[in-house]
Chain A
Amino acid sequence: MKMLPRRTVLRGLIGGTALALPLPRLVSMLNGNGTAYADGSPLRPRYLTWFFGNGADPAHWVPAAVGVGDAWAPSTALAPLAEFKPWLSVLSGYQVAVPAIYAHKSAPAAVLTGAQAMDGGDVQLPSIDQLLAPVINADTAFPSGLHVGISNVTGAGALDFNISFSGPNAPNPPNYDPVALFTNLLALSGTLEPDPALFRRKKILDAVAADASELRAKLGSQDKERLDRHLDGLDQLQAQIDAIANAADCGMPVDPNVAYPDRGADGAITRGRCQAFADLLTFAFSCELTRVATHVFSCAACHAGYPEAGLGEVTFHEDFGHRLSPMGVDFGTAGFHTGVEYTMSCLAELLQRFRDTPDGAGNLLDNVAIYATSCVGLPWDHRMDDFPMLVIGKAGGRLRGDIHHRSAGENTSMVPFTLLQTLGGAQPSFGAAEGLVSAGIPEILA
C-alpha cells in the first residue's frame, strides 16, 4: 500500500486515529489470495433491496415448474434474469398477511417492514435493510446504507418515494442523482489526492455536533430521537472524511457523465440511469464503502411511463397496471407484461455487474443477497396474494440459488426474515401483528 506523504500529513492534521476508522476495503485487508480478510475470516456479505412499483401478473411471473436446478426454468417475466439463474431464488405463492387498508401501501409496508403502514406515508417498524445495517454495515462509510432511485414520479397514496425506514418517521429517501453519488464515492475511493480543506469540514462538523448535543439535552424524547439521527449524519460525514484521508486506491467509480451522457434527467426511467446506478452500487459494494443499499426502480403505485419499453408516455400504473389504456384490456395486459420484463432487464444490469466483479474467491453476486419485490401482486385487482418476491445472490454461500419455491399462501414476511437470519440478525422474529413471523424458509438456504 503506497501512502502519499500529503495524505500522511493530512491524517496528522485530523488526528491520525486510523485504526478506529471505517475504510474502503484495501488490498492489505485481504489474505494473500484475496479470498478472505487477512485474519482469515470470510468476506462480509452485502445486502440490497430492489423495489419496483405496480406488481406483477402471476400468470406471467411465476415459473411453470417448482424445484431446483434443471427442474425449473424462469418465466417470461423473469427471462431477462435467466443468465443469473444459478443465483436466483423465486419465491411464489406468498401472501401479504396484513389487511389491505391502503392500496399500494399496506402491501409494500408489509413486505419491507413486516407490519401495516401508518397514515400519511409512514411505517411502524424499520425496514429489512435497516435491521441489517447495524449487523453488517456499522463499520462502513455509510452505516445506514446507500439509497438510490430511478423514477421520482409519485404514486398516489403510497409510501411516498421511500422503501427504507429506520423506524416511524425516519425514512432514508432515495438519491436520484448518479453524479452526486459518483462524486461522493470518488472522494471515498482513494483515487484522488485528499483536499487539505477536509480538516476545515471536520472542524465545522465538530462545532455543529457540539451545538446539536447541547440542544439535545433540552429536548423531549421524540425530538431527541430526531436529533440523534441528525448526529448520526454528522458522525457519518466525519467518518467519511477520515476514510478519505486514509484510503488507499480503491479504483475509480464509473463517471455517469462519461459513460451515460444520454441517460436522461434525474428521475426519468431509462436504461442509462439503471446502468449508472448499477455501476456505482457495484463499486460501493466491491470496495465495501457500504454493505447495505436500496434501489427503487419505481415507487409504490408509480405513475411514471416506460417510454424505452415502447409503452409511450402514458402512465404505466394507469394504462397498464390498471389496464385502463384506451386501446383496451388486452393491450393493457400485454403492455403490463412488457413493462415488467423491461423492469427485470434493468435489474439484470445490476446483476451482470455484480457477477462480473471479482469478490473474494468468487464474484460479488456470490457474496450479496438481493431482495426484489413490489407494492402489489396482480395490480388490476390490487391482489396481495402470489406476491412477486425474488432473492438473488448467494450471500457468501449462505443461499443455495437456482430454485423456484412455491408456498401455499404463507406470510410474505418469511422472505425478509429468512434474509435477516441468514445475514446474522439476532432477532427471533420479524414484523408485527398479522405480519409477524418467527420462521424462515429453509428451502432457499445452502
Chain B
Amino acid sequence: MPRADPRGALLLGVLSAGCYSGLSGRADGAGSDDASATEPGGSGSGETAEVPEPAEVEAPTVRRLTQAEFTHSVRDLLGPVDLSAIEADSNQEGFFAVGAARVALSPAGVAAYELALDAATAQAFADPANAAGLVACVPATVADVACIRDAIAAFGRRAWRRPLNATELDRYAGIATDVGVETGDALVALRHALWGVLQSPHFLYRVELGTPSEDDGGRVKFSSYEMASRLAFTMWNTLPDDALLDAAQADELATSTGIAAQAQRMLADPRARQGVANFVAEHYRLWQLEEKAKDTTQFPEWTPTLKAAMRQEMLARIEEVVFTTPADFLSLYDDDKVFVNNELAALYGLPAVEPDAFHPATLPAGDARRGLIGSAMILALNSLPARTSATERGQFIAETLLCKTVPPPPPDVDTNLDDDDGSGGPVVHRTLREKLEPHRENPACAGCHNVTDPLGLALEHFDTMGRYRETDLGLTIDASGELDGVPFVDAAELAVALREHPDALSCLVRKLYTYTAGRLPFDAEDDFLAAIGVEFEVNDNRFDRLLLAIVTHDDFRFAHPADSVLGTDQGEGP
C-alpha cells in the first residue's frame, strides 16, 4: 500500500532551486522551458527529420464529488433535503476539484454517505405527494414492477449521468422487490432502491474516463454522456438536466457544435451562477472564511455576520461582472465598485445604507482600497488572527492571481515578528516592513520574500480584518513597492498594476482549467491554453466567454491533447 510519491523528490528539487517566480502549476511540475522538452525518438542518424515521441500524460482519474457537487446534486434529485456531514474535501493545488481526483475516501466516509443519504431519501419520501414529484412513475403497489423499474431507470440516468445497464437496473429493482416483500409498501421499496442508487460509486464519483476513438487516431475521447457530466459539473457545479442528457442520448455532445449549443443554453440557466460561484469559492478560498479565527479581544467586530457579509460581497462582485453586467473579468482587480450592507459599510468607511441589505457602492476617488486585493474578504482571509501578514497577502497575489510559485520557508527559520524580544528590555514597535527587512536581506529567505513581501506590504493600510488604518501603532506606513518592474505608491496603484500584469490573464485561464480538469495542466496543453487565452482576450476578457471557450474547445472532448498518449497505467493492476 505505501508507495513513494515522485512529487516528493520534485518538491525538494524545487526548494533547493530557490524561489521560482515563473508560471506555476504544471502537471509534471516543470517550471521552465527546458523541462518541457521532449526527448527526440530514434537514434537521430537517419536522413529523415526526427519525429518526436508523443508526450505521455496521466490518464484521467475518477473524481469524488466535492461537497458542493454532492449537495447540489442530491438536492437536484431529492429537493431541498437536509444533509448530515460527509467526509471533508481535500484542498490540493489550491482546489478541492484536484483533491477530489487524488484523495481516497476513508471507511468512515463511506458510512457517512450511507447515513446522510438514508436521512435525505427518507425525508424526501416522507410525504408521498412530495415523492411523486421526484420520480418518473409512482407505483401503486409492490406488484407494479414496471413502474418501479421505470422510476429507478429515470432517477438512475440523472444520478449517474448515464442510463443504467440491464444488470444494474436489475440490481436496484431487486432491492425494491425485496423491501416490497418485507414491507408491502411500494414507496418504501422504491425509496430503498434509490438510496442504493445514490450510494453507488457511479453517483459519488465522476467516472469520466473516455475510450479510444478510431475516428480520432486512437485518441481517448469522452462519450456524449461523459461530456454531459463534464459540462454540468463545470458550468453548474451539479448534475446534467434531462435536456442535456437527452442531447447526450442523441450523441449530440460528440462535436464542438453540439456542445456549444448546450453550453450556450446552460450559461443562460440560473445554475450557471452556482457554477461560477463555486469556482470563485474554491479559487479565492471563500470556504476558509468560516473557520478563520481572529483575536476577538482586539477585533470584537469579527462576527459570523461580518464574515458572511464579506463572503456575500465577493460573490456579488463576481455575479455583477460575469452575469448582471458582463464585463472584463480583470476589472475586478482594480474596480472601485463594492457591495455593502451596514456592517461592511462601517468596515469600508462608507455611509450606512438603508435598508440594511446589500447595495452597490463606489469607493471615493483617491481611496487606497481598490479591487479584489482591497476587498475585506481577501484582506481578512490572508491575515493572521491578531495582525496582518504581508507574506500571506503577498502569497495570495503571487500564487492565486499571477501563478507564481512561492515555496514554504527554509528549515529552522525564525518566523517570529514580535516587537518584544523577551529580553525584558523596553518594547520598541516597528512596522511590518521593518520587521520583514531581515527576511529580504537574508539570501535564504530573500528569493521568496522579495516576491511576496512588497506585494503584501502594499496592503499594510488595511488591518487584519481589512479595515483602513492610517498608521500602524502610530508608525507611518510605507505602502510603496514594485511589481515585476512596475512601481506603485500604494495598494490602489498595485491593483492597477495587477490588472495590467502580462500574466494576469493567462493565470486566470490556467486556474480555471485546473479547476475544470481536476488536475494541473499538462505541458502538452500549452497550445490549448494559449488558444483559450486568445479567445478570452478577443472577447473582452469576459468570464462567460472564457468558460465557453474551454468547454467548446476540441481538446475538452478528449482525455489528452493531440500528439500525446496516455500513461500505461490505465486498466492495469490486480
Contacts and interface: CB of A to CB of B under 8 A. Distances in A.
B93 interface: yes
Interface in A167-205: 167-173, 175, 177, 180, 184, 196, 199-201, 203-205
Interface in B336-390: 384-387
B61 A211 contact: no
A144 interface: yes
Contacts of B103: 169-171, 226
For this complex, into which size category does the number of interface residues on chain A fall? 35 or more
A303 B61 contact: no
B4 A305 contact: no
Nearest to B384: A318
A178 to B, nearest CB: 13
Contacts of B1: 126, 166-167, 225
B102 A169 contact: yes
Interface in B537-574: 567, 569-574
Contacts of A199: 182
Contact of A120 (B2, B93, B421, B574): B93
Contacts of B4: 124
Given A315-B386, A319-B386, A147 B196 contact: no
A119 B296 CA distance: 31
A383 B11 CA distance: 23
A389 B484 CA distance: 47
Nearest to B102: A169
Contact of A207 (B2, B171, B207, B387): B171
Contacts, number: 237
Given A233-B106, A233-B108, A236-B107, A177 B572 contact: no
A161 interface: yes
Nearest to B566: A220
A326 B386 contact: yes
B355 to A, nearest CB: 31
Interface in A203-259: 203-205, 207-208, 210-212, 215, 217-227, 229-230, 232-234, 236-237
A103 B201 contact: no
Contact of B207 (A119, A160, A210, A215): A215
A223 B61 CA distance: 6
Nearest to A314: B295
Contacts of B8: 116, 118, 124
A22 to B, nearest CB: 13
B107 A143 contact: yes
B308 interface: no
A208 B200 contact: yes
B172 A207 contact: yes
Residues of B contacting A: mostly: loop
Contact of B109 (A167, A217, A233): A233
A322 interface: yes
Contact of A210 (B171, B418, B567, B571): B171
Given A101-B411, A221-B569, A312-B297, A118 B5 contact: yes
Nearest to B178: A203
Contacts of B522: none
A6 to B, nearest CB: 14
B201 A230 contact: yes
Contacts of B411: 99-101
Interface stretch (B83-91, B309-317, B495-503): B83-91
A220 B196 contact: no
B288 interface: yes
B201 A211 contact: yes
Contacts of A169: 90, 102-104
A215 B201 contact: yes
Interface string A129-171: 0000000000000111001000011100100110000111111
Instruction: Give the top 5 A-B pairs by smallest Cβ distance, nearest first.
Output: A233-B110, A221-B573, A233-B107, A204-B196, A226-B104
Given A170-B104, A222-B569, A225-B1, 20 more contacts: A101-B15, A101-B411, A118-B8, A160-B91, A173-B108, A180-B115, A196-B182, A204-B196, A207-B196, A208-B201, A211-B201, A212-B200, A230-B201, A304-B293, A313-B296, A324-B386, A328-B427, A329-B418, A329-B421, A380-B416
7 contacts: A101-B12, A142-B107, A180-B84, A196-B182, A207-B196, A229-B106, A313-B296
